[in-house]
Structure 1
Amino acid sequence: MPELMRAVGYRTSLPISDPASLLDLELPVPEPDPHDLLVRVEAVSVNPADPWVRLSTDPQGEPKILGYDAAGVVERVGSAVTLFRPGDEVWYAGSIARPGTNSALHLVDERITGPKPASLDFAQAAALPLTTLTAWEMLFDRLRLTADSKGTVLVQGAAGGVGAIAVQLARQLTGLEVIGTASRPESRQYVLDRGAHRVVDHHGDLAEQLPDGVDYVLSAHSAGMVETYAKIVRPFGAVVALDEPAGLDLRPLKLKSIAWHWELMFTRALFDPESTAQHEILTRAAELVDKGVLHTTMTTRIDGINATNLRRATEAVEAGSTIGKTVLAGF
């Protein structure tokens, strides 16, 4: 009989309000490939990627595991692993091409894994990998910003997971003026506490609130926003988008030669599996956390990684009203 482990997954795409949308499962423990770590998962967090995958990918009755953030302890390593050994504490986001992190034991390639910050517990650490990798790649890979970069960046949805990290990284590691968008008083204060120089209301007219314009936009919600970006982004500026709304027309950006970039954190794992870039980003981010430069964005902790708790956390993410990240700890 194969060794079994607990996991949470789904067998058909259903609304999160349906009790069958996420299920408690028992599955065989997977075997590591040469570059894999078998990790005992201690904590996971919920991201917009989870409902995106659940609603767009129907496994036709086969169990599919979600989860794209984890912190845990290495149990076993593959034959070619050189970066970690059993007993190491790690954090990572994983790959959408493989089963997700919502399982007691999980396989992840060592090259997209980093050493967990020593100053954080597993739950605090699990809030960060996907959003940190995403924000880092937006700022430093897509926009190619440096410590000497000047100008102004607008972080849309700055109280969310990616936004809250982007605000911290841009404020601490560049010379940019950082402007976040938020609407509720508590979310505005959260963004200011993360280091934004100021906050504007994303429900208001951004062109009126930003009469001097901005050089860069980090766009989490791009639908209906291209005309606004064409107004507020200065000539030769740039937008980095996380989403892909249907019918997106970028022609209004051409007059000012505004660049449009896409960011998908999973691109490296999908198309450049030998790259260690995300290992290096997570290692650097752990150092920044331990120096007190970068802070966890965990705002809600739920004890118990199970289907009921994951449905509850996912409902909040789908509602779009969360501040920071929701983390689940312990199988």
Structure 2
Amino acid sequence: MPSSSPDTQRTMTAVVTRSGGSVDIPDALVDATVPAPAAPTGHDILVEVKALSVNPVDVKVRAALNHAGGEERILGWDAAGTVIAVGEQTTLFQPGDDVYYAGALERPGSYGQLQLVDERIVGPKPSSLDYASAAALPLTSLTAWEALFDKLHLSRDSAGTILVLGAAGGVGSMVIQLTKALTDVSVIATASREESRDWVRSLGADAVVDHFAEDLAQQVLAIAPDGVDYVFTPQSRGRVPLLTTVVRPFGEIVAIDDERDLDLYALKDKAISWHWEFMFARPRHGYDLITQHHILSTIAELIDSGRIRGSASQTLTPRNAAQIRAAHRLIESGRTIGKIVVTDAG
């Protein structure tokens, strides 16, 4: 995807979706030439996207889209790139700055060559990482940070034990690292395959249990006999009986999935708290946007100081519809470890 001056560029290349449903539908993801974004105003910055990462939310949104009249949409909620223009109210970045961000669900995403994004939900790219490695970080880092520190209110003085379900995934990988780097909480991670187990151990998990074991509750309680203090779960369906068993009285659970009609009554007997984490709540509602800038700035510092590491596990090139389609298929397989990045850099 070649670059061009924002003053002269009227079109850009992008991967667009024209049809919901299966990723195998030809119009699900298509290479296209589309109008370039307008010049940035207000707090917006215009970014030339250098690399992107594909997340489960990309797959969910693409599959659920209903395109009437041939409408096109540009998806993508993880990017790293270079600022090429700024709005009149910007104070955090200037042209030439390298940045990374997740963006907002309601706006055109990172599958385009150029992207407008509010500077208040953008961070400075970690200087020690290339664009591809940096693009793997924003959504998962923001989700993990908000889950641990906004919802569970963990701090440097926090102790106890957290059970991280689906720990080898993108968010789980960051939950493990942030917990170990910034608290004294012990981590029990669930993983099913040997490569997943090795991955979560390498990130600092104190103990690893079999994600699909019939005796998962017993495995957890063998490590934490009084029950775990906290749980992070990316998938809640069918998990409430397990969580009721393994969480101590007055423990806390944070979930990031979209499960509806979830019956949580069994948690009441132990007065267990349930929290929802949704990283896009701040940009969607315009609430406290600057906090995401601060979080991403802190993540960059932690990366550059070596206290945590990136979670990119697979890089696809070049940045086109075929490779993004391949990334969607990998995520739909449910067997990914870490993050999948798509970039033009070899």
Q: Same fold (TM over 0.5)?
A: yes
Q: 1:58 Cα shift?
A: 1.8
The answer to whether the aligner puts 1:158 opposite 2:172 as a matched pair is no
Letter in 1 for 2:334: G
The answer to whether the aligner puts 1:17 opposite 2:24 as a matched pair is yes
What are the Cα deviations for residues 9-67 of structure 1, in whole angstroms up to 9, with x where unaligned?
11120301223210111111112131111000000000001011112232322110110
Q: Is the 8 A contact 2:21 2:64 kept in 1?
A: no
Match of 1:318 among 314, 317, 332: 332
Give the 3-state SS of the residue equivalent to 1:210 in structure 2.
helix
- Aligned counterpart, 1:88: 97
Percent pairwise identity:
50
**Greater alpha carbon shift after TM alignment, 151-160 vs 208-217:** 208-217
Q: Is the 8 A contact 1:77 1:86 kept in 2?
A: yes
The answer to whether the aligner puts 1:59 opposite 2:73 as a matched pair is no
- Aligned counterpart, 1:36: 44
The answer to whether the aligner puts 1:303 opposite 2:317 as a matched pair is yes
Match of 1:271 among 276, 279, 285: 285
Give the 3-state SS of the residue equivalent to 2:331 in structure 1.
helix
Q: 1:2 Cα shift?
A: 6.8
Q: Which runs of 5+ in 2 are unaligned?
A: 1-7
**What is the distance in 2 between the residues matched to 1:178 and 1:208?**
16
Letter in 2 for 1:267: A
Give the 3-state SS of the residue equivalent to 2:143 in structure 1.
helix
RMSD: 1.2
Give the 3-state SS of the residue equivalent to 1:221 in structure 2.
coil
- Aligned counterpart, 2:269: 255
The answer to whether the aligner puts 1:206 opposite 2:224 as a matched pair is no
Q: 1:120 Cα shift?
A: 0.2
Counterparts of 1:145-294 in structure 2, within 5 Å, are 145-204=154-213, 205-211=215-221, 212=225, 213-273=227-287, 275-294=289-308
**What is the distance in 2 between the residues matched to 1:125 and 1:210?**
34
Superposition TM-score, scaled by structure 1 size: 0.98
**What is the distance in 2 between the residues matched to 1:317 and 1:245?**
18
Letter in 1 for 2:176: V
Letter in 1 for 2:191: A
**Greater alpha carbon shift after TM alignment, 119-128 vs 49-58:** 49-58
Q: Which runs of 5+ in 1 are unaligned?
A: none
> How many residues were matched structurally?
331
Superposition TM-score, scaled by structure 2 size: 0.94
